[in-house]
Amino acid sequence: MKLPIELLLLSFASLASSASLQPRNANFAAVLGLTSLSTDHSTPDDDALSDKFFHEATFDGHYDGRFAEAKLPDDTRAFHLQLLLKSYVDTMDRIGIRTWIMHGCLLGWWWNGKIMPWDNDLDFMLDERSTRELGNWWNMTVHHYTAKDFGFLDPIVEEEEKAVQVEPLQHTTTAAKAKDEGIAIRKQFLREEVAKKGKKYLLEVNPNYINTSTNDRHNVIDARWIDTATGLYIDITTLHTSPP
Ligand SMILES: *[C@@H]1O[C@H](CO)[C@@H](O)[C@H](O)[C@H]1NC(C)=O
Ligand SMILES: *[C@@H]1O[C@H](CO)[C@@H](O)[C@H](O)[C@H]1NC(C)=O
Protein backbone atom coordinates (compact mmCIF):
# COMPACT_ATOMS: atom_id res chain seq x y z
CA MET A 1 0.00 0.00 0.00
CA LYS A 2 1.83 3.10 -1.21
CA LEU A 3 -0.81 5.72 -0.63
CA PRO A 4 0.05 6.85 2.92
CA ILE A 5 3.65 7.61 1.93
CA GLU A 6 2.45 9.68 -1.00
CA LEU A 7 0.01 11.58 1.17
CA LEU A 8 2.76 12.23 3.67
CA LEU A 9 5.09 13.51 0.97
CA LEU A 10 2.42 15.73 -0.48
CA SER A 11 1.33 17.17 2.83
CA PHE A 12 4.95 17.82 3.69
CA ALA A 13 5.39 19.58 0.35
CA SER A 14 2.35 21.74 0.96
CA LEU A 15 3.38 22.54 4.53
CA ALA A 16 6.79 23.59 3.31
CA SER A 17 5.23 25.90 0.77
CA SER A 18 2.43 27.35 2.85
CA ALA A 19 4.64 30.17 4.13
CA SER A 20 4.43 32.04 0.83
CA LEU A 21 2.13 31.87 -2.17
CA GLN A 22 3.64 29.69 -4.85
CA PRO A 23 3.73 31.43 -8.22
CA ARG A 24 3.71 28.04 -9.91
CA ASN A 25 2.07 24.65 -9.38
CA ALA A 26 3.77 22.10 -7.08
CA ASN A 27 7.15 21.30 -8.57
CA PHE A 28 8.28 17.93 -9.84
CA ALA A 29 10.15 17.07 -6.62
CA ALA A 30 6.93 17.53 -4.64
CA VAL A 31 5.09 14.90 -6.70
CA LEU A 32 7.94 12.37 -6.92
CA GLY A 33 6.11 9.76 -4.86
CA LEU A 34 3.07 10.07 -7.07
CA THR A 35 4.31 10.33 -10.66
CA SER A 36 5.75 7.38 -12.54
CA LEU A 37 8.09 9.63 -14.54
CA SER A 38 11.73 10.28 -13.73
CA THR A 39 11.88 13.67 -15.44
CA ASP A 40 9.54 16.62 -15.67
CA HIS A 41 7.96 17.39 -19.04
CA SER A 42 6.37 20.70 -18.04
CA THR A 43 7.03 23.93 -19.90
CA PRO A 44 9.85 25.75 -18.08
CA ASP A 45 9.51 29.04 -16.22
CA ASP A 46 9.33 31.93 -18.57
CA ASP A 47 9.52 35.63 -17.67
CA ALA A 48 6.41 36.39 -19.69
CA LEU A 49 4.50 33.74 -17.75
CA SER A 50 6.14 34.24 -14.37
CA ASP A 51 2.76 34.80 -12.71
CA LYS A 52 1.15 31.73 -14.29
CA PHE A 53 0.33 28.95 -11.82
CA PHE A 54 -0.64 25.89 -13.87
CA HIS A 55 1.79 24.81 -16.56
CA GLU A 56 1.22 22.36 -19.36
CA ALA A 57 3.35 19.64 -20.93
CA THR A 58 5.99 20.62 -23.48
CA PHE A 59 4.55 18.22 -26.09
CA ASP A 60 0.86 19.15 -25.73
CA GLY A 61 -1.18 21.75 -23.85
CA HIS A 62 -3.77 19.22 -22.72
CA TYR A 63 -1.46 17.14 -20.56
CA ASP A 64 0.25 17.88 -17.25
CA GLY A 65 4.00 17.42 -17.85
CA ARG A 66 4.64 16.26 -14.29
CA PHE A 67 2.60 13.13 -15.05
CA ALA A 68 2.88 12.59 -18.82
CA GLU A 69 5.64 12.25 -21.36
CA ALA A 70 3.60 11.64 -24.50
CA LYS A 71 0.14 12.00 -26.01
CA LEU A 72 -2.19 9.02 -25.87
CA PRO A 73 -3.94 7.39 -28.84
CA ASP A 74 -7.49 8.81 -29.28
CA ASP A 75 -9.45 5.86 -27.92
CA THR A 76 -7.13 5.44 -24.91
CA ARG A 77 -7.54 9.14 -24.17
CA ALA A 78 -11.33 8.85 -24.42
CA PHE A 79 -11.28 5.94 -21.97
CA HIS A 80 -9.25 7.87 -19.37
CA LEU A 81 -11.33 11.04 -19.82
CA GLN A 82 -14.45 9.09 -18.92
CA LEU A 83 -12.85 7.87 -15.70
CA LEU A 84 -11.57 11.37 -14.99
CA LEU A 85 -15.10 12.71 -15.30
CA LYS A 86 -16.65 10.03 -13.12
CA SER A 87 -14.01 10.23 -10.40
CA TYR A 88 -14.26 14.04 -10.22
CA VAL A 89 -18.06 14.17 -10.13
CA ASP A 90 -18.24 11.35 -7.55
CA THR A 91 -15.63 13.00 -5.31
CA MET A 92 -17.30 16.42 -5.47
CA ASP A 93 -20.63 14.80 -4.72
CA ARG A 94 -19.19 12.92 -1.76
CA ILE A 95 -17.57 15.99 -0.22
CA GLY A 96 -20.57 18.20 -0.94
CA ILE A 97 -19.18 20.57 -3.57
CA ARG A 98 -21.53 21.89 -6.25
CA THR A 99 -19.91 21.87 -9.69
CA TRP A 100 -21.14 21.98 -13.26
CA ILE A 101 -19.87 21.29 -16.80
CA MET A 102 -18.87 23.98 -19.30
CA HIS A 103 -17.61 24.48 -22.86
CA GLY A 104 -16.97 21.38 -25.02
CA CYS A 105 -17.99 19.11 -22.20
CA LEU A 106 -21.38 20.87 -21.98
CA LEU A 107 -21.87 20.70 -25.75
CA GLY A 108 -21.08 16.97 -25.77
CA TRP A 109 -23.60 16.35 -23.02
CA TRP A 110 -26.25 18.42 -24.83
CA TRP A 111 -25.81 16.61 -28.13
CA ASN A 112 -25.62 13.01 -27.02
CA GLY A 113 -24.86 12.81 -23.31
CA LYS A 114 -21.25 11.90 -24.03
CA ILE A 115 -17.77 13.34 -24.23
CA MET A 116 -17.06 14.37 -27.83
CA PRO A 117 -14.50 12.05 -29.43
CA TRP A 118 -12.06 14.87 -30.22
CA ASP A 119 -12.12 16.39 -26.71
CA ASN A 120 -8.71 16.59 -25.03
CA ASP A 121 -9.78 17.89 -21.68
CA LEU A 122 -12.89 18.59 -19.65
CA ASP A 123 -14.10 21.88 -18.20
CA PHE A 124 -16.04 22.44 -15.02
CA MET A 125 -17.04 25.44 -12.93
CA LEU A 126 -17.42 26.10 -9.21
CA ASP A 127 -18.76 29.00 -7.19
CA GLU A 128 -16.32 31.00 -5.08
CA ARG A 129 -17.29 29.41 -1.77
CA SER A 130 -16.61 25.94 -3.19
CA THR A 131 -13.18 26.87 -4.57
CA ARG A 132 -12.32 28.33 -1.16
CA GLU A 133 -13.33 25.08 0.49
CA LEU A 134 -11.25 23.04 -1.97
CA GLY A 135 -8.29 25.40 -1.47
CA ASN A 136 -8.52 25.33 2.33
CA TRP A 137 -9.30 21.67 2.88
CA TRP A 138 -8.59 19.58 -0.18
CA ASN A 139 -5.60 21.15 -1.92
CA MET A 140 -2.99 18.53 -2.95
CA THR A 141 -5.13 15.60 -1.85
CA VAL A 142 -4.85 12.30 -3.71
CA HIS A 143 -8.00 10.30 -4.38
CA HIS A 144 -7.77 6.61 -5.08
CA TYR A 145 -10.31 4.83 -7.29
CA THR A 146 -10.63 1.12 -7.92
CA ALA A 147 -12.14 -0.78 -10.85
CA LYS A 148 -15.17 -1.42 -8.66
CA ASP A 149 -15.67 2.32 -8.11
CA PHE A 150 -15.92 2.66 -11.90
CA GLY A 151 -18.33 -0.26 -12.17
CA PHE A 152 -15.83 -2.43 -14.06
CA LEU A 153 -15.88 -6.18 -13.62
CA ASP A 154 -19.35 -5.83 -12.16
CA PRO A 155 -21.56 -8.13 -14.25
CA ILE A 156 -24.74 -6.12 -13.56
CA VAL A 157 -23.24 -2.76 -14.55
CA GLU A 158 -21.53 -4.27 -17.61
CA GLU A 159 -24.81 -5.82 -18.78
CA GLU A 160 -26.57 -2.46 -18.36
CA GLU A 161 -23.85 -0.77 -20.38
CA LYS A 162 -24.20 -3.27 -23.19
CA ALA A 163 -27.96 -2.79 -23.21
CA VAL A 164 -27.70 0.98 -23.81
CA GLN A 165 -25.04 0.64 -26.49
CA VAL A 166 -26.26 1.52 -29.95
CA GLU A 167 -26.18 -1.36 -32.45
CA PRO A 168 -22.85 -1.10 -34.27
CA LEU A 169 -23.02 -0.13 -37.92
CA GLN A 170 -22.70 -3.01 -40.36
CA HIS A 171 -19.06 -3.31 -41.24
CA THR A 172 -18.56 -2.69 -44.90
CA THR A 173 -14.95 -3.83 -44.95
CA THR A 174 -12.92 -6.36 -43.02
CA ALA A 175 -10.48 -3.53 -42.19
CA ALA A 176 -13.29 -1.60 -40.39
CA LYS A 177 -14.25 -4.74 -38.49
CA ALA A 178 -10.64 -5.40 -37.49
CA LYS A 179 -10.30 -1.76 -36.32
CA ASP A 180 -13.37 -2.04 -34.07
CA GLU A 181 -12.15 -5.33 -32.69
CA GLY A 182 -8.77 -3.74 -31.99
CA ILE A 183 -10.48 -0.93 -30.05
CA ALA A 184 -12.53 -3.45 -28.03
CA ILE A 185 -9.40 -5.45 -27.12
CA ARG A 186 -7.54 -2.31 -26.06
CA LYS A 187 -10.49 -1.21 -23.93
CA GLN A 188 -10.53 -4.57 -22.19
CA PHE A 189 -6.79 -4.25 -21.60
CA LEU A 190 -7.24 -0.75 -20.13
CA ARG A 191 -9.95 -2.01 -17.78
CA GLU A 192 -7.69 -4.80 -16.60
CA GLU A 193 -4.93 -2.26 -15.94
CA VAL A 194 -7.33 -0.28 -13.76
CA ALA A 195 -8.36 -3.49 -11.99
CA LYS A 196 -4.71 -4.22 -11.20
CA LYS A 197 -3.48 -0.80 -10.16
CA GLY A 198 -6.52 1.43 -9.57
CA LYS A 199 -6.30 5.11 -10.43
CA LYS A 200 -5.07 8.09 -8.44
CA TYR A 201 -6.27 11.63 -8.96
CA LEU A 202 -4.67 14.78 -7.60
CA LEU A 203 -6.64 17.91 -6.80
CA GLU A 204 -4.55 21.07 -6.97
CA VAL A 205 -5.89 24.57 -6.30
CA ASN A 206 -4.41 27.76 -7.73
CA PRO A 207 -4.02 30.31 -4.91
CA ASN A 208 -4.79 33.07 -7.44
CA TYR A 209 -8.44 32.00 -7.55
CA ILE A 210 -9.12 34.97 -5.24
CA ASN A 211 -8.11 37.36 -8.01
CA THR A 212 -11.37 38.47 -9.65
CA SER A 213 -9.60 40.62 -12.26
CA THR A 214 -10.43 39.67 -15.85
CA ASN A 215 -6.98 40.98 -16.83
CA ASP A 216 -5.32 37.97 -15.24
CA ARG A 217 -5.22 35.97 -18.45
CA HIS A 218 -2.65 33.45 -17.17
CA ASN A 219 -4.68 32.24 -14.24
CA VAL A 220 -8.13 31.67 -15.67
CA ILE A 221 -7.84 28.09 -14.42
CA ASP A 222 -8.41 27.94 -10.68
CA ALA A 223 -8.04 24.25 -9.95
CA ARG A 224 -7.18 21.00 -11.65
CA TRP A 225 -8.26 17.39 -11.21
CA ILE A 226 -5.32 15.44 -12.59
CA ASP A 227 -5.02 11.80 -13.63
CA THR A 228 -1.60 10.97 -12.17
CA ALA A 229 -1.07 8.05 -14.58
CA THR A 230 -1.75 9.84 -17.87
CA GLY A 231 -1.41 13.58 -17.11
CA LEU A 232 -4.92 14.26 -18.47
CA TYR A 233 -6.83 16.77 -16.39
CA ILE A 234 -10.04 18.67 -15.77
CA ASP A 235 -9.81 22.47 -15.86
CA ILE A 236 -11.86 24.03 -13.08
CA THR A 237 -12.84 27.70 -13.14
CA THR A 238 -14.44 29.81 -10.42
CA LEU A 239 -17.54 31.85 -11.07
CA HIS A 240 -17.15 35.14 -9.19
CA THR A 241 -20.17 37.28 -8.53
CA SER A 242 -19.55 40.98 -8.96
CA PRO A 243 -21.35 43.55 -6.83
CA PRO A 244 -24.36 45.13 -8.62
C1 LIG B 1 -2.01 24.28 -3.08
O2 LIG B 1 -0.79 23.62 -2.92
C3 LIG B 1 0.22 24.05 -3.84
C4 LIG B 1 1.42 23.15 -3.67
O5 LIG B 1 1.93 23.21 -2.39
C6 LIG B 1 0.53 25.51 -3.54
O7 LIG B 1 1.49 25.98 -4.45
C8 LIG B 1 -0.74 26.32 -3.68
O9 LIG B 1 -0.48 27.66 -3.28
C10 LIG B 1 -1.85 25.76 -2.80
N11 LIG B 1 -3.11 26.42 -3.11
C12 LIG B 1 -3.84 27.07 -2.19
C13 LIG B 1 -5.15 27.61 -2.62
O14 LIG B 1 -3.45 27.24 -1.06
C1 LIG C 1 -4.76 40.13 -10.20
O2 LIG C 1 -4.31 39.93 -11.52
C3 LIG C 1 -3.96 41.13 -12.19
C4 LIG C 1 -3.63 40.80 -13.65
O5 LIG C 1 -2.61 39.82 -13.75
C6 LIG C 1 -2.76 41.75 -11.46
O7 LIG C 1 -2.40 42.96 -12.11
C8 LIG C 1 -3.15 42.03 -10.03
O9 LIG C 1 -2.03 42.50 -9.32
C10 LIG C 1 -3.65 40.76 -9.35
N11 LIG C 1 -4.18 41.07 -8.03
C12 LIG C 1 -3.80 40.42 -6.95
C13 LIG C 1 -4.46 40.84 -5.67
O14 LIG C 1 -2.93 39.56 -6.97
Residue nearest to atom 7 of ligand 1 (CA): 22
* Residue 20 located in a structural domain: no
- 191 shares a domain with 76: no
Together in a domain, 169 and 191: yes
Residues 111, 97 share a domain: yes
Residue 243: inside a domain, yes or no?
yes
In a domain, 26, yes or no: no
Structural domains counted in the chain: 2
Q: How confident is the model at residue 19 (pLDDT cuts 50, 70, 90)?
A: very low
Regarding whether 128 and 206 lie in a shared domain, the answer is yes
pLDDT classification of 193: cutoffs 50, 70, 90:
very high
d(CA 234, CA 203): 10
Same domain? For 206 and 193 the reply is: no
Do residue 76 and residue 103 come from a single domain? yes
Q: How far is the CA of 108 from the centre of ligand 1 (A)?
A: 31
What is the per-residue pLDDT for 23? 78
Kindly state whether residue 34 falls inside one of the protein's structural domains.
Answer: no
Q: Is residue 13 scored above 60 in pLDDT?
A: no
Q: What is the mean pLDDT of residues 92-119?
A: 94
Q: How far is the CA of 139 from the centre of ligand 1 (A)?
A: 6
Residues touching ligand 1 (Cβ under 6 Å) are 13-14, 17, 21-22, 26, 135, 139-140, 204-205, 207
- Residue 58 domain-assigned (yes or no): no
- 78 assigned to some structural domain: yes
**Which of 129, 205, 221, 225, when mutated, tests ligand 1's pocket best, judged by the most ligand atoms within 8 Å of its CB?**
205
Q: Give residue-wise pLDDT tens across range 169-191.
A: 666 788 888 888 888 899 899 99
* Cα pseudo-dihedral 68, 154, 195, 142, rounded to 10: 60
pLDDT of residue 18: 44
Q: Whose C-alpha lies nearest to ligand 2, atom 4? A: 216
Give the three-state DSSP class for 236. strand
DSSP-derived 3-state class of residue 20: coil
∠ Cα 31 34 37 (to 5°):
85
Helix (H, G, I), strand (E, B) or coil at 73: coil
| Same domain assignment for residues 76 and 138 | yes
Q: At what angle do helices 174-197 and 74-95 cross, to 10 degrees?
A: 40
Whether 77 and 190 map to the same domain: the answer is no
Same-domain check for residues 192 and 77: no
Do 237 and 139 reside in the same domain of the chain? yes
Pocket test for ligand 1, best of 15, 22, 203 (most atoms within 8 A of CB): 22
Backbone dihedral angles phi then psi of residue 233, each to the nearest 5 degrees = -150, 165
Ligand 2: residue whose CA is nearest its atom 3: 216
210: containing domain:
72-146+199-221+233-244
CA–CA distance, 195 with 94 (Å, rounded to integer): 22
Report pLDDT digits (tens) over 44-73: 877 777 788 999 999 999 999 999 999 999
Residue 25 within any structural domain of the chain: no
Q: State the closest ligand 1 atom to the C-alpha of 207, by its place in the atom list counted from 1.
A: 13
Q: Using pLDDT thresholds of 50, 70 and 90, give the confidence band for residue 243.
A: low
Q: Which of 77-91, 167-181, 205-219 has the highest mean pLDDT?
A: 77-91
pLDDT at residue 167, rounded to an integer = 58
- Verify that 89 and 193 share a domain, yes or no: no
Residue 49 in domain: no
171 shares its domain with 112 = no
